[in-house]
Structure 1
């Protein structure tokens, strides 16, 4: 949502922010009764009401699935958090993956002035700390855990978002380079993955070869993602195991049967090719202290 990159059946990642935990909110109940509630409780209830309205299933369906796990402490944290609490949390306990996620933070509703204050508050946490070899290894460790979880949960299945060489690896590459060079290249502060990738290339922070591979792969995988969700009519990122559904997906992607190969075979070939390119770049990603990311081929 923050990067304006929703797919055909996306959920939305939301974080609720309010200005201050100090004070009382008063509201009327009936003609005479005045209810007084702490700001924290009031905004907690308001956030839950909004979340329910977005995600509850009615006769017409629902608006969005809502994911609130990006908030401090994840599922164990408050659904709505004050600005000061966010600031303290990120200053004392914020992690590398949260810096990467917050690159896409964007105020979308409510008090826009407060939204801008939030962005200003998190800017130091996101952009100022060093992002070097240790942080890059942390990102690669996170991805290794994702790979292991997928292999255990869905052995033999191809996930174009979280799988090896998929969308998540493209995003991790782009976000790692944004964090590594963002303090010296202000123009890299872009929420949109393709725009950020183009800016990295413009500043010569990624080679022409890698830029071409990552751009082509990201567009390809996002297109596959859309088509999968159209075929399945649900949120999924896994290529079908049923040959008929796989063929449908390939045809929707624009492939067609020929004397040389079936559409499904062409889709499988291109998925393998793009995944191989992305994973090679991800595994060999380096953050040189001077100059640019080195070319690794023609």
Structure 2
């Protein structure tokens, strides 16, 4: 069905029939893609010109470094003479790369770790390029001020992006010793930030590239889009809440002025990693986790939620981040933004039992792989498992399960899911309990 829609969208039915006859490998890739992935099918049906990605077998079967993605992006942008054409070119490259990464995952050419690294590298390169273009555009109207950076948060900060992930960011500038531009620092960097949003998230004839989410900034949607390091320091001392302290565990410099990024991260770490992790903070974080499960996941009505449900990814992330808040002041090597890297650092320091760490890592990889498959198989990103066995069966097959019928496949997947989530919840409760007793 999706293949027919694609051929119709191209308006070149005869040409494709000839291509299918002469290139069986290309036809095989198309059948796998249209038969397995709603997300990739939508990309190709909306943008038939991206079919070139599937004919480049070398690109499909070879891991692409961030430097190569940047090189390809720069080459395309050279032939884009203005802001609008650059904006469209950025979207085309992003969708083409996502298609390439998705196909590699579908045909098992890339494992989960390689896929998440690919998607994270793509986002980093994209934001670096967008920042550069925005600066060039702004220089046409104003003086050259570039004491600004983009800080990655959430999965972007952890370098563990999935298909369809939003980009959680903080936009930061430093006033420094320099005289302000005529319009003032805040107005100048606000204009730069708006341009970054426009290049990334504005809907165009080519769609949008990423949804930028800046809700983690001070005061959330009610706050200013971009804030100075001085403003952040003041906020950290006066009004910042414990969940913001926890979120900043994952803060990572992504693009812009590296010195400004370093200065911000140092300020953030002073706020995040304190001498004493208060009892009240631990209670507040554990209550927040309960609310996420009850009010957002709503598993009793919506179905099992891989991210926010009982024993989901959030349990592992919260357990690791709570331990980082507790011990990160004394042990700087624990200040990792990546979940599994942080977990391994705890093991190396003898703070987490090797057996527990291995079980958590095993469950984390199972749940992230399930999340990855769930997002690529659907047309829109989701973290909720379908309730119908007929919908669960293709998901199970994509993950390597075998069975004669939909019920067998679904049962096998759900049995493993329940085993992993129960195990994760046990370790999460044990972590919280140990810390509560320690207080």
Using the size of structure 1 for normalisation, the TM-score is 0.87
Segment of structure 1 superposing worse, 67-76 or 12-21: 12-21
Structure 2 residue 220 is the aligned partner of structure 1 residue 74: yes
Segment of structure 1 superposing worse, 187-196 or 16-25: 16-25
**Structure 1 residue 156: deviation in Å?**
4.0
Of 175, 187, 199 in structure 2, the residue corresponding to residue 20 of structure 1 is: 175
Of 290, 312, 322 in structure 2, the residue corresponding to residue 176 of structure 1 is: 322
In structure 1, the residue matched to 2:398 is 252
In structure 1, the residue matched to 2:380 is 234
Structure 2 residue 203 is the aligned partner of structure 1 residue 84: no
How big is each residue's C-alpha offset from its partner over 1:29-58, in whole Å with a ceiling of 9 and x where there is no partner?
Answer: xxxxxxx41211121122122112111233
Structure 2 residue 157 is the aligned partner of structure 1 residue 2: yes
Structure 2 residue 432 is the aligned partner of structure 1 residue 287: no
Equivalent positions of 1:158-197 (< 5 A) are 158-197=304-343
How big is each residue's C-alpha offset from its partner over 1:251-272, in whole Å with a ceiling of 9 and x where there is no partner?
Answer: 111111159x722111101111
SS in 2 for 1:15: strand
**Cα distance in 2, alignment partners of residues 204 and 194 from structure 1:** 15
Q: By percentage of residues, which structure has more helix?
A: 2
Structure 2 residue 278 is the aligned partner of structure 1 residue 123: no
The root-mean-square deviation of aligned C-alpha atoms, in Å, is 2.1
Q: How many residues align?
A: 279
Residues 118 and 288 of structure 1: CA distance in aligned 2, closer, same or farther (over 3 Å):
same
**Structure 1 residue 246: deviation in Å?**
1.1
Judge conservation of contact 1:231–1:245 (CA < 8 Å) in 2.
no
Residues 81 and 153 of structure 1: CA distance in aligned 2, closer, same or farther (over 3 Å):
farther
Segment of structure 1 superposing worse, 204-213 or 270-279: 204-213
Residues 61 and 151 of structure 1: CA distance in aligned 2, closer, same or farther (over 3 Å):
closer
**Structure 1 residue 160: deviation in Å?**
0.4
Judge conservation of contact 1:105–1:191 (CA < 8 Å) in 2.
yes
Residues 189 and 151 of structure 1: CA distance in aligned 2, closer, same or farther (over 3 Å):
closer
Judge conservation of contact 1:23–1:39 (CA < 8 Å) in 2.
no
How big is each residue's C-alpha offset from its partner over 1:172-226, in whole Å with a ceiling of 9 and x where there is no partner?
Answer: 0000011111122222111110111111122221223321221111101110111
Give ranges in structure 1 of 5+ residues lacking alignment. 26-35, 291-298
Judge conservation of contact 2:305–2:385 (CA < 8 Å) in 1.
yes
**Cα distance in 1, alignment partners of residues 401 and 279 from structure 2:** 41
**Cα distance in 2, alignment partners of residues 37 and 244 from structure 1:** 59
Of 244, 248, 271 in structure 2, the residue corresponding to residue 102 of structure 1 is: 248
How big is each residue's C-alpha offset from its partner over 1:143-177, in whole Å with a ceiling of 9 and x where there is no partner?
Answer: 11112213659724111001111011100000001
**Structure 1 residue 279: deviation in Å?**
1.0
**Cα distance in 1, alignment partners of residues 226 and 329 from structure 2:** 30
Residues 194 and 153 of structure 1: CA distance in aligned 2, closer, same or farther (over 3 Å):
closer
Structure of larger gyration radius: 2
Segment of structure 1 superposing worse, 185-194 or 236-245: 236-245
**Cα distance in 1, alignment partners of residues 251 and 302 from structure 2:** 34
**Cα distance in 2, alignment partners of residues 94 and 276 from structure 1:** 33
SS in 2 for 1:163: coil
**Cα distance in 2, alignment partners of residues 153 and 46 from structure 1:** 41
Judge conservation of contact 2:299–2:309 (CA < 8 Å) in 1.
no
**Cα distance in 2, alignment partners of residues 288 and 205 from structure 1:** 16
In structure 2, the residue matched to 1:278 is 424
**Structure 1 residue 133: deviation in Å?**
3.2
Give ranges in structure 2 of 5+ residues lacking alignment. 1-155
**Cα distance in 2, alignment partners of residues 89 and 155 from structure 1:** 39
